[in-house]
Structure 1
Amino acid sequence: MSEIVVAKFPNATQAAEARSALTRLGRTYEIEPEDIEIVSRSRADSIAIQPEVNLYWAHVIGGAIWGGVLGVVFLMPAVGIIAGAAVGFVTGRITDVGIRNTYLESVGRQLEKGEAAVALLARRANPGAVAEVIRRFGGTVMRSSLSGRHRDQIRTVTAETEEETADADGGEKAELRDQPKLA
């Protein structure tokens, strides 16, 4: 079963560094990520979602290649390439894999202007390693679907950072809540 952890960071740079660190954890098999995305809220109050891999262009290019192959079979490669790219464009726009964009937009609406969040969807995760990455880059956990034991482990590791952050700026700590199953 997949688990999701969403951590809030003071800015998009720290969120990008945390995503890179989580990606490295995936390469060392500490976690088995399905999707890692950054959600940011700009100073102009717009919400941006930055997927780890942009599948949109992969669909367009793949469609063009397959269209070209079929076009060669029917002796019209240019028409095949154009038609394939168009089909790839449409499928790329409607495909939403990993963490749903509607969920990420709801996370973005909860951020303050200038803040960013990293959303991790993982098949398997080492809660201690994930919590350490969040703590190292100054993040706080916003949401989690982890079981009680793992949630407590993340809460323990990140508690000191959250308390220091709350004391430093007079703000409140992020609340850790259960979330519905997303995948």
Structure 2
Amino acid sequence: MSDLLVIGYPDEDTATQAAQTIEELTDELLIQPDAVAVIVRESDGRFRVQTNHHVVGAATTWGMLWGLLFGFLFFVPVLGVAFGAALGGLTGLIDRSLVNREFAERVRDLVQPGTSALFLMVEHVPSDKVIAALSRYGGTVLRSSLDSKAEAELQEALTGKRS
């Protein structure tokens, strides 16, 4: 089972700092996130997104998933992504399995102009050391779980292969 963790911060810079801490903890093998993204909502309401973009299958990246997820959550158009059957399936999967309506509304409420959020896709709950390292930044934590069936569908949609 995978979890989507969202940690919201009341300013535009803290999520980026927290993501750097996650990268350091990953290097130390204290956490192994599948994917990491930072979204900043600037004071004028525009969004800025940074992802780790590692490849999970033939030319498909977690970056695409983040793009679809952020498009779904914030109604930000997904530019540069061709919508084929697999990506259409991803959108449906996001809608029905990963992000229920209540969770989506909570994330939208969290990411207001002048704020930022760290998004982590993880298979294992972070250890106490990870939580302690991130606690210095404060923030509001939201969590959504992806059950095993939905996780297999996501993997198939991202890679084109059954797991």
**AA partner of residue 18 (structure 1):** A
Distance 1:180-1:110 versus aligned 2 partners, 3 A rule? same
Note the C-alpha offset of 1:49: 2.1
Q: How many residues align?
A: 113
Q: Secondary structure at the match of 1:133?
A: helix
Structure-1 residue corresponding to 2:43: 43
The aligned residue for residue 100 of structure 1 is 69
Question: Equivalents in 2 of 1:135, 1:103: separation in Å?
Answer: 28
Query: Please, which moves more after superposition, 98-107 or 127-136?
Result: 98-107
- Percent of aligned pairs with the same amino acid: 21
Q: CA separation in 2, counterparts of 1:54 and 1:126? A: 20
- The DSSP-based 3-state class of the residue aligned with 1:119 is strand
Q: Structure 2: which 5+ runs fail to align?
A: 75-103, 152-163
Give the SS at the match of 1:137: coil
Distance in 2 between residues matched to 1:7 and 1:37, nearest whole Å? 11
Q: Which residue of 2 aligns with 1:52?
A: 52
Q: TM-score scaled to structure 2, two decimals?
A: 0.56
CA drift of 1:45 comes to 1.2
Q: Which has the larger radius of gyration?
A: 1
The answer to whether 1:19 aligns with 2:13 is no
For residues 1-150 of structure 1, the aligned pairs below 5 Å read 1-53=1-53, 96-97=64-65, 100-102=69-71, 105=74, 106=104, 107-108=107-108, 110-141=110-141, 143-144=142-143
Match of 2:86 in 1: none
**Structure 1 41/108 Cα, relative in aligned 2: closer, same or farther at 3 Å?**
farther
Q: For residues 112-171 of structure 1, give each alpha carbon's deviation from its aligned partner in whole angstroms, at most 9, with x where no partner exists.
A: 221100011112343423322331123221x11xxxxxxxxxxxxxxxxxxxxxxxxxxx
The answer (yes or no) to whether the contact 1:35–1:122 under 8 Å persists in 2 is: yes
Q: Distance in 1 between matches of 2:23 and 2:11?
A: 19
Displacement, 1:24? 1.3
When normalised by structure 1's length, the TM-score is 0.50
C-alpha contact 2:3 2:122 (8 A) present in aligned 1: yes
Aligned residue type for 1:13: D
- Provide the C-alpha distance between the structure 2 equivalents of 1:108 and 1:50, rounded to a whole number of angstroms: 18
Larger helix fraction of residues: 1
Do 2:30 and 2:127's aligned partners in 1 also have CA atoms closer than 8 Å?
Answer: no
CA gap of 1:36–1:103, structure 2 versus 1, over 3 A, is farther
SS at 1:100 equivalent:
helix
CA contact (8 A) 2:4 2:145 kept: no
Alpha-carbon RMSD: 3.0
